[in-house]
Structure 1
Amino acid sequence: MLRLACAALAGTAVEFYDFFVYGTAAALVLGPLFFPTFSPVAGTLAAFGTFAVGFVARPLGSVLFGHIGDRHGRRPVLVASLLLTGASTVAVGCVPTYASIGTAAPVLLLVLRFLQGLGLGGEWGGAVLLTAEHAPADRRGLWSSFPQIGPALGFVLANGVMLALSATLSDAQFASWGWRVPFWAAGVLAAAGLWLRSSLAESPRFLELREHARVPLAEVVRDHWRLVLLTGGALAVGYALFYAVTTWSLAYATERLGVNRTVMLACIMAAVVVKGALTPLAAVLSDRYGRRPLCLAGCAAAAVWMFPMIALLSTGEPLLMFLGFLVALIAFVTMFGVIAAYLPELYEPRVRCTGAAVGYNLGGVLGGALTPIVATAVADRSGQVPWGVAAYLTGIALLSLGCFALLPETRRVGVAAAEPEPATS
């Protein structure tokens, strides 16, 4: 289990590195390089628009790779998704800017971002199911949390490279070629991830199935549409919270508050490191007390903390901004440290790869794709403190809280059965 979980963690770290490095670049440099005819705010909005395309592609990737996972096994998904995401990320680092090829530059950026999202949409389901379906029932939360540490590790790697380049290069060097280096590094990381995954065993739950779904998506839509909508709505707050902290706040603080780019990256990275370290703790608590109670607690904490977080961000003081980000990400990990065990337990085995991945990535469209765009637009119309952003995030948190309240508890249910207990208030 340890070897399997570490391989899943390494793969998700590499794939989320690819995804996050684009978000950081969108916040810092892609606007003026690929949309130079726009105003600064419009350029940032356009860059975040290409960022959002990756989230729109993720549910499509979960359908494509979920079909493969439910028909042919979880293991092939891990290899194919990693190859697609790694190759498209390296290609982003090679795209000429608007000054060189005109409008073809943002179009290429858009296409490659779509392919990134397509690959990541398949990655999560394959990695999580392989660990969840191998894990013993009483420790499923703990072992399934390993892939959930991957996003934090990938974010730290992506922003660590950006931070090092930002601190050592001049603004002109960073804008000229420095921002491309993290994208090129994705090729090395993808090769390492493929090597780690080359000898993984197939999921025992998949091998035990007597009959596989012919068209998994059709079964999910017909028999589990309500569950997919509830899980997508429930997870929206996690995505909104994470990308408000890691992407929107980076652009807002550097452009509107004049905070040094290196300082902002350091504040965000420190909060994400703590978030990653606390992920196994949330998972262990879910093995003891249940998945749903932790999700409800994290959601409620997020709803309460949005206005204080925006107030602390608006000070421009590093320690206060770090505190705001830290509490927000603790609320986040209370939910998302549990999700890797919770979602597989909600869906029956024959459509689990498709259902769990579609629900998970639908939350990304609702919360992750729109948040940087909406927050940037709202902040541009706000006064000194963007309270409208806080109101928007609080609204998403309340929506997700209602969705979690309608989902059942699953802790005592084996992933082989996946018939959850009735929901209790």
Structure 2
Amino acid sequence: MMDGQLQLKLQIVGHIARIGRVAWSPDGRTLACAGIDRMVWLFDIEEGHYRTALQGHTEGITGLAFMPEGNRLLSGGDDSLRLWDVTKGNCIRLIKGYSNFFFVIDWSPDGQRLISGSQDSTIGLWNVNEDKPPQSLYGHRESVTGIGWSPDGQWIASSEWDGTVRIWNAVSGICLRVLQKSDDPAIFFGDLVWSADGTQFVSGTHNHGIQVFQINAKEHYWNQNSFPTSHLHLTWSPEGSKIATGGGDGAIYIWDAATSTVTQSWSAHRGAVTRITWSPDGHYIVSGNNSSELFLWDAKSGERLRNFLGHPSAVYSVTWGVTTQQLISGGIDGLLRWWDVQTGECIRVIQAHHGAVHNIRRSPNGRILASCGGDGAIMLWDLESGEYLQTLRRDRPYERMNITGIRGLTEAQKMTLRTLGAIEHN
């Protein structure tokens, strides 16, 4: 710092994707960086360049720390914890865990089934009227980050972390087509939404713009990547002529779905947009960001109409209530919040998940709200009253194991077993 001014001392380049975690070695000579590209990059600070990349994780890395002696590094974020030898650049220990949370869900058009995409790469087909495990669809290799049921109920489209888009037969569960298979390790798919007529769907990406696919085509119909920001989150207008995307730069973009051109944009948030949705009547857009902001916009003019205050941190999902007079939102704190659109007041708060609420969806008949989260559960709620209705969950490793009265277990061990499905009666 000179004369009260901060100066850039060193700029190092190597990552090809968003950096989420950094860690310094105890001696200050090595900087470790990790993010959504699933690699740990080591940089030599004295030399000012990249040294090596540690590969092995199958999903984005969310934890990073050097051991006190400085020659070993811990990384985690998928369902594993890895211990690395920093000098040799190899993994010396792999600790596997159990983690199977849901990223996305969607309703079938008749409201009788739900489709889920999870961290472990599987897709689940759930019958909400039957108390039994879901039908599992296999084919993806990475976390399923986008999923949608076609309006006619025949097809399911899904996208995953590694850039693959698949079309499935919704009845048989057979994968019919792989529309795109990318070998780019930096690609990352976000939301996936069908058009109202069911002939095409749009998917957002981290660094490849937005892509529109036609159901009868093998590749994307059009790919728009003219704006230097991510467009992970998007929504189709009710009549199908426009697409709204939320940018990593905090802006909202309105696209002409026929010409792939941006017709309007405005600065919306102070951080990346984490959720965006159009109102059923087409008059409004609501968007949330990664730092607690939740705003209502006039879809035509871009004017901000309402600021909903209450989320302590990131807003991950939002949908409309029984009418456009109510909104429901979910975020990192695991709570569902009901909002009065006219006043901006929060009128109901429910503890929904032990972990973040990743996605919420309103049933086609407008009566049921489905939510999914980091605890591996799909919860069903009465949309109007907020009353709890049902839980859908895959069996965990110790599901229904009775540990009541068992001796020799510590409280920490009991808590772990209960988290993995064990039951204990008081």
TM over 0.5: no
Category of TM-score, reference length = shorter chain: under 0.3
Higher strand proportion (structure 1 or 2):
2
TM-score (norm 2): 0.26
Higher helix proportion (structure 1 or 2):
1
Larger RCO (CA under 8 A, 6+ residues apart): 1
TM-score (norm 1): 0.26
